[in-house]
Structure 1
C-alpha cells in the first residue's frame, strides 16, 4: 500500500507547539508530515521572519508590528503563544526564514509552502518583498513553493526568478479555468469552506489542488470525493493516525 495523500502541516505541528516555530516544524516532519506550510512577514530592516500575524499580540503576548521593528528587536520577544500554552514555551523565539532554511536543509524529500503575508507586501512593495525572500530561499536544498493571495506578487516571482507558485483563492476569486491558466501556478490553495461554497465541477489542469482546514475524517472524505488529495491540517497527529488506522482511506494498492 502507498499513501496517495499529501499531508501538509499548517504552520507546523501547531496542536503541540507554538505555530510557525522551528520546534513546530521539526515536530511535524518527525511525525510524518509530507510537507509544511509557513508564513512570512518582513521586518523594517528587510529580514524575512516566520509569523502569520504582523502584530505580536497573539503569538508573543506583547505589543509591536513586525514591519516596523528590526530583527534585533524581535529577538527580545518570545513567540510562545500564551493564549494557548500559557508559559509552557516561554523563551521560544520567532525564527528567521534563514534559520528555518538551514534547519530544514537537514531533511530529505520534503516540500515547504512559503506564504508571503499581505501586510508585508503592502508595506514593502511586491518586488522588495520577493527580493527579501530570495536572500534566504536561494540557499534551500529542499523543494519549496511561494504561495499568496496576491496574484501580482506570484506573477512577479515567476518572471524574476521562475519560482514555483501556489495561488491561494478566496471565495470571491474567479475559480474559472481561464483565470487559473493565466496564473500558471503549480498549486491552487483554497479553504474547505470556500471549496464547499463552490459546488460546480472544479477546474483541473497542470496544477494540484490543496485544501486547508481539513481537520477530521469527514473533511478528508469530502475532498477525496472531489478528487483532491493534498490538504493542510491543524491537527496533524490526529489526521496521520486516522489515515494510519483506516488503510483504505488515503491509500492505494501497488500492483
Structure 2
C-alpha cells in the first residue's frame, strides 16, 4: 500500500527531530532533503542579543547543562553541544546551536519551502518585545516571501502586522472562545492548535488556514488530513510521513 502523504500539507516540527537533535542545522537540513515543504523552528535571544534557533529557556534537556539561554554567549555556544543526550545518547555529539542567520543561509537553497519561525514567550519577556521583534524583522526582511512568524504572543504578532507584510500564525494549546475572539481581531494567516483540541465539528472559520500538531504516525495523519477544515498537520517524524 502506498502511504505517501501530500508533502504540501506536512510541517516538520523543529526539523527532522526524530532523527536529529531538534532545531539543529542537521535536523532542518534533513527535513529539507526529505522533501518537506513546511518547516517549523523556534528562536530565542541569547546574552549577546543574537537570535539563535533554540526552543528551551535553558540547556538542561539539550546539553545536560544548567545554563540559561539568556546567559549563554556566542563564544560559549561554540563549545556547548546540543546533542540531546537523553534521546540520542552520544550519537550526535557534538552538535552546536545555530544562529538564525546560519539557518537563513541554508534556506536560500530552498526558496520554495515555507518556514514557520516561532518566537518564544520567554525571550519576549526577558528582553522585551521591541528588542526581539525589531531585530527579528531586520533579519527576516530578505526572506519575507516564504517566512511565517508564529507565536503564542498576540503582541508579537500584532508587531509583525504593524511593521511587516510577513505572514503570521497564532499558536494556542486549548480550543477556547477567547482565541476565536483574538483571531477575529488579529486575522492571522494560520491558526495552530493540538489535534486533540480541534473540535469534531463547528470549527472556527475565518481568514486563516488550520494547522494541527503533533501527529507522528501515518494512519492518524491520513485521518486528520481528510477532516473538514484541516489544511496542514505538524509532525515530529517528517521522514516517516513522507515515506522516505
Instruction: Find the partner of 1:138 among 115, 137, 141.
Output: 141
Match of 1:138, SS?
A: helix
Tell me how far 1:136 sits from its aligned partner. Answer: 2.2
What TM-score comes out, normalization by structure 2 length? 0.91
Q: Aligned residue for 1:251?
A: none
Q: Aligned residue for 1:114?
A: 117
Q: Aligned residue for 1:38?
A: 41
Tell me how far 1:44 sits from its aligned partner. Answer: 1.7
1:104–1:142 CA contact under 8 A, matched in 2: no
Q: Aligned residue for 2:229?
A: 227
Match of 1:146, SS?
A: strand
Tell me how far 1:88 sits from its aligned partner. Answer: 1.3
Tell me how far 1:204 sits from its aligned partner. Answer: 1.7
1:42–1:162 distance in 2 versus 1, CA, 3 Å: same
State how far apart, in whole Å, the 2-side matches of 1:80 and 1:142 are: 32
What TM-score comes out, normalization by structure 1 length? 0.87
How many correspondences in the alignment?
240
Q: Which runs of 5+ in 2 are unaligned?
A: none
Q: Which runs of 5+ in 1 are unaligned?
A: 245-255
Q: Are 2:87 and 1:84 equivalent residues in the alignment?
A: yes
Q: Aligned residue for 1:22?
A: 25
Match of 2:40, SS?
A: strand
Match of 2:47, SS?
A: coil
1:199–1:236 distance in 2 versus 1, CA, 3 Å: same
1:5–1:229 CA contact under 8 A, matched in 2: no
Q: Are 2:191 and 1:188 equivalent residues in the alignment?
A: yes
Q: Are 2:212 and 1:208 equivalent residues in the alignment?
A: no
Tell me how far 1:205 sits from its aligned partner. Answer: 2.0
State how far apart, in whole Å, the 2-side matches of 1:32 and 1:118 are: 30
RMSD of aligned alpha carbons: 2.1
Match of 2:79, SS?
A: coil
Match of 2:143, SS?
A: coil
- After superposition, what is the alpha-carbon deviation per residue over 1:196-219, rounded to whole angstroms, capped at 9, x for unaligned? xx3441112221111111112343
1:177–1:204 CA contact under 8 A, matched in 2: no
2:36–2:238 CA contact under 8 A, matched in 1: yes
Match of 2:226, SS?
A: helix
- After superposition, what is the alpha-carbon deviation per residue over 1:129-158, rounded to whole angstroms, capped at 9, x for unaligned? 101212321233760110000111110121
State how far apart, in whole Å, the 2-side matches of 1:80 and 1:227 are: 37
Instruction: Find the partner of 2:14 among 7, 11, 16.
Output: 11
